[in-house]
Amino acid sequence: MIAYDKLPKVYEPGDVESKWYKYWMEKGYFHAEADPSRECYSITIPPPNVTGSLHIGHALCYTIQDVLGRWKRMQGYNTLIVPGTDHAGIATQNVVEKQLAKEGLSRHNLGREKFLERVWEWKREYGGTILNQFKRMGYSFDWERERFTMDQDYADAVLEEFIRWFNEGLIYRGVRVINWCPRCQTAISDIEVEYQEMAGHLWHITYPLEDGSGSITVATTRPETMLGDTAIAVNPEDDRYMGIVGKNAMLPIMNRPIPIIADVHVDPDFGTGAVKVTPAHDPNDFEIGERHKLPSIVVIGQDGTMTEEAGRFSGMDRYAARDAVVEELRAQGLLDHEEEYTHSVGTCARCGSVIEPLLSAQWFVRMKELAQPAIDAVRDGRVKFVPERYTGLYLDWMENIRDWCISRQLWWGHRIPVWKCEGCGKYMAGRNAPSACKKCGGGAFEQEEDVLDTWFSSGLWPFAVLGWPKKTPELEYFYPTSVLTTARDIIYLWVARMIMTSMHFLDEIPFHDVYIYATVLNEEGRRMSKSLGTGIDPLDIVDKYGADTLRFALIQQAGKGQDIRFSEGRVESVRNFGNKIWNMSRFVLLNLDTESGNLPERPSADKLSVHDKWILSRLQKTIDAVNTGLAGYDMDNAARALYEFLWSEYADWYIEIVKPRLQGEDKAAAQWAVWHVLETSLRLLHPIMPFITEQIWQSIPHQGESIMIAPFPKFDESLVDEDAESHMNAVMDTVRAVRNLRAEIGVAPGKRTPGTVVPNGAAARAAIEESAECVKSLAKLSQLTLAAEAPSGGQYMSAHIPAADIYLPLSGLIDVDKEAARVKTELESVKKDLARSEDKLKNPQFTEKAPAAVVEKERRILAELTDKAARLEERLSVLQGK
């Protein structure tokens, strides 16, 4: 005999959620082992930064993955979701450096080894924060397989990747202009550069021609870089400069002749159409320099001060040098003019310093060759982007791919396994120092100081976490993974690289689908940001409303559109949905005979009422909608179908209709139906709201030890009953029409009224006749007359629906005169408000100066008032027409 939990009056998510999470963990449901006899479904989650804590975007991203995983697991797939964290080189190093700064120390005081010990200490203490937050969200990840991108095995995979690429000639040391943070003292990737609009100047500088035949003027926002100019470039089509291409200009201050060259990449419409070329300090200039074989002169050093190449400005800070150079130009009469100029300046995402594009020696990966198989894999559909529009973006970028700078001047990360021979300078890659130099035979080596870009190691995440380079059973069985769910801004940085590395090392795609989830914005459509105070902390929501509520609130908006507008108001409405499910479940439980411990028995078909058949039909269509929605990544459709079904059909109609039967003598069929629909719906809802569904499911008759491993409902077309559905549509339309009429004239809620229904056709007549008792009770009719035509004599209100015409007599329902007077007063007051709102919106002072959200709100108010006034007018005319 099963003892069912009692469902307390109020649902308290806190205790329930921690209880079930513990239970699932103890039962080992999250863990999966390779088992070739079963079909698998696998996900390796995007590893969040170890420094991270859960924000709303994460909550969406990982909830999607958990919903998919729970759904597939219930469908019988051997489901694995591997969690883990990324060591996040620069982010983590900065956190620890800040910690040190508070102690008055820097990483240089400690030295490399001691500093890395500190970082590991930090990681042990704080590195688990975000994963613990994942547990509160209810994620069914396989914690036994948790990975970290600096774990021993993982580090080994990274070395393998590097050494193989190095030996295949795909990694080279080269000189390029990279984003350099003078504060962090490292190269940083494009995604770590934040562009900010800054007020500055555009200086127009005159460069005299060497032959004295005139001059050429260029404009720059960074005049200090002119000290490193090695050319002036114009567009070959630009008529203004036809005669002087090929001549030399004299570089002011430095008095060095530099060539005037023609290059198609110069925009003739910008400034004077002539640009200074500083290959060492601008990525575009670097490319012009490559094309025209120009020398690169480094005038700004890695610490942001001027180098010896900067002549008498050497040793000055870059900004002091800027002022000094401008002064000097002015003194020499070579400053044509200057203007105020707002432009976007790259800053370091970690520390806010202005990025200095800098020529420096770095390690690069050749991308062209790696890109081709990754292009093919997407083009021929082996890897599918969802939504589809991201395919083009990916292909565009891949076809114009540039070599990848993989070295970072940090300490925290995978140290580059390259050894330089002290004798001849040859570079060799290896896990350890080579025993002898291949070129000169020398035995003294120096290891490269730099570490690898974090994306280098995360690029092999999906297969490294499954054991690569070892041939593990997990890699054999769970790979390629089923889906990657990620943000659109790392399609290039991460998704593309995973596809490239996987194609290269495994000759296999890393995942079948790439689902790019929507961006979560606040209600006004702005980005959520902690510093702007526009963010919502997902954990606050979990504390207040429970994880289920947050999960559902996110998923019900997670469609293929771009953005999600999120607010606490949405969460509240989902909380109400949860309470509705709770309350109706309590009702169902109270009306079942649970003492026997047996499952309610399925009645023979003839015992089922048309209402039972209707709800069973609707249940099947909901099952279909949920499965189709999840399969097509239209999760919003799945959530909406569940919400509509459970609230609007099951709770509001079916339970109301079935109540009298549950209290009658012959109740077994009704008991079975009400239980069956609830039990099935809980399983349908479980992937999105795992906790409340488990709590209720365990409390009602059920089969199995957890809903999480119970079978997911399958669509059964034989239970779709269109006749029952049109029958119920007639019933519901009739009831709604009567309710609307009653509301229109303000009938007191408890008052019953007689009504006449004139059905439209035999089917409608049969339906309303068969469900007459139910219509009477739901529409609060004291008497229901089915007539062939409209009643005559007396005053009636009427409504027309597809199935019938409906008539309610006015007399006796209300005191018509009194009600008319009341409506009139209300209408006058609404009209006053309406006029006030109209005036406000006619006033440009308001519409142009008030914040957009305030104006928008006023427009909504106006629309509501207009609507209300129309309804009152209508009601008044009915009342006065008596």
Q: Which residues bind Zn ion (CB under 5 A)?
A: 181, 183-184, 348, 350-351, 353, 421, 423-424, 426, 437, 439-440, 442
For the CB of residue 402, give the shortest distance to Zn ion in the complex, in Å: 23
Q: Which residues contact 360 (CB under 8 A, 6 or more apart)?
A: 175, 176, 177, 178, 180, 187, 302
Residues 6+ apart with CB under 8 A from 354: 345, 346, 347, 348
Quote the least distance from Cβ 421 to Zn ion, whole Å.
3
Beta-strand relationship, 356-365 and 481-486:
unpaired
Smaller CB distance to Zn ion: residue 423 or 535? 423
The 3-class secondary structure across 837-870, one letter per residue, is HHHHHHCHHHHHHCCHHHHHHHHHHHHHHHHHHH
Among the listed residues 177, 181, 151, 15, the one whose alpha carbon sits nearest the alpha carbon of residue 87: 151
In the complex, least distance from residue 438 CB atom to Zn ion, rounded to whole angstroms: 7
Residues 5, 10, 15, 18, CA torsion sign: positive
Closest approach of Zn ion to the CB of residue 344, in Å: 18
Q: What are phi and psi of 784, to 5 degrees?
A: -120, 115
Judged by CB, which is closer to Zn ion: 88, or 266?
88
The nearest distance, CB 304 to Zn ion, in angstroms, is: 11
The answer to whether the Cα torsion of 669, 670, 676, 679 is positive or negative is: negative
Quickly count: other Cβ atoms within 10 Å of residue 48's Cβ.
Answer: 23
Q: Which of residues 195 and 270 has its CB atom nearest to Zn ion in the complex?
A: 195
Judged by beta carbon, residue 76 or residue 441, the one nearer Zn ion is 441
Q: Look at residue 753 and give its three-state secondary structure.
A: strand
Question: Helix crossing, 722-745 with 762-770: angle to 10°?
Answer: 70
By beta-carbon proximity to Zn ion, the closer residue of 424 and 787 is 424
- CA–CA dist 147, 334 (Å, integer): 61
Q: Is the CB of 184 or the CB of 588 nearer to Zn ion?
A: 184
Residues 494/373, Cβ–Cβ less than 8 Å: no
Which C-beta is closer to Zn ion: that of 189 or that of 671?
Answer: 189
- Return the number of the residue (37 or 432) whose C-beta is nearest Zn ion: 432
Give yes or no for a contact between 257 and 209, defined as CB atoms under 8 angstroms apart. Answer: no
- Of 220, 466, 470, nearest in space to 329 by CA: 220
Minimum separation from the CB atom of position 651 to Zn ion (A): 55
Which value, to the nearest 10 degrees, does the dihedral of the CA atoms of residues 842, 843, 849, 854 take?
Answer: -50
Q: Which 3-state string (H, E, C) describes 422-435?
A: CCCCCEEECCCCCC
The residue (of 193 and 395) whose beta carbon lies closer to Zn ion is 193
Both tokens of residue 184?
Answer: 């962090």
Please state the closest distance from residue 542 (CB atom) to Zn ion, in A: 33
Residue 94: CB minimum distance to Zn ion, A: 8
Q: Which helix (H) or strand (E) holds 584?
A: helix 568-590
CB 40 within 8 A of CB 77: yes
For 425-480, the three-class secondary structure string (H helix, E strand, C coil) is: CCEEECCCCCCCCCCCCCCCEEECCCEECHHHHHCCHHHHCCCCCCCCHHHHHHCC
CB of 181 to Zn ion, least distance (A): 3
Nearer to Zn ion, 207 or 419 (CB): 419
Taking the complex as a whole, the smallest distance from the CB of residue 268 to Zn ion amounts, in Å, to: 36
* Gyration radius from the chain CA atoms: 36
User: Minimum CB separation from Zn ion for residue 348, in Å?
Assistant: 3
For residue 443, the minimal CB distance to Zn ion (Å) is: 9
Cβ(95)–Cβ(51) below 8 Å: yes
Q: 480 with 40: CB under 8 angstroms?
A: no
CA–CA separation, 776 vs 31, rounded Å? Answer: 54
Q: Cα separation of 109 and 663, whole Å?
A: 80
Give the Cα separation of 96 and 118 in Å (integer): 7
Question: Shortest gap between Cβ of 90 and Zn ion (angstroms)?
Answer: 8
Cα–chain center distance at 233: 44
Q: Judged by CB, which is closer to Zn ion: 194, or 826?
A: 194
- 156 burial type by CB count under 10 A (0-12 exposed, 13-18 middle, 19+ buried): middle
Provide DSSP, 521-546.
EETTSPBP-TTTT----HHHHHHHH-
CB of 179 or CB of 637, closer to Zn ion: 179
In sequence order, what DSSP letters do the residues of 98-150 get, joined into one string? HHHHHTT--HHHH-HHHHHHHHHHHHHHHTTHHHHHHHHTT----GGG-EETT
In angstroms, what is the minimal distance from the CB of 405 to Zn ion? 16
Query: Based on CB atoms, which residue is closest to Zn ion, 348 or 581?
Result: 348
Smallest separation, CB 48 to Zn ion (Å): 21
* 3-state SS, one letter per residue, for 400-423: CCCCEECEECCCCCCECCEEEECC
Cβ proximity to Zn ion: between 424 and 790 the closer is: 424
Are the beta carbons of 119 and 93 closer than 8 angstroms?
A: yes
Q: Are 250 and 212 in contact (CB under 8 A)?
A: no
Minimum distance of Zn ion from residue 121's CB (angstroms): 23
Residue 445: CB minimum distance to Zn ion, A? 9
Residue 126 or 427 with smaller CB distance to Zn ion: 427
Q: Which is nearer to Zn ion, 185 or 583 (CB)?
A: 185
Which of residues 185 and 248 has its CB atom nearest to Zn ion in the complex? 185
Q: How far is the CB of 99 from Zn ion (least distance, A)?
A: 16
Nearest to 169 by CA among 440, 509, 499, 429: 429
Alpha helices in 591-631 (DSSP H): 610-631
Task: For residue 803, count other CB atoms closer than 10 A to its CB.
Answer: 24
Nearer Cβ to Zn ion (94/549): 94
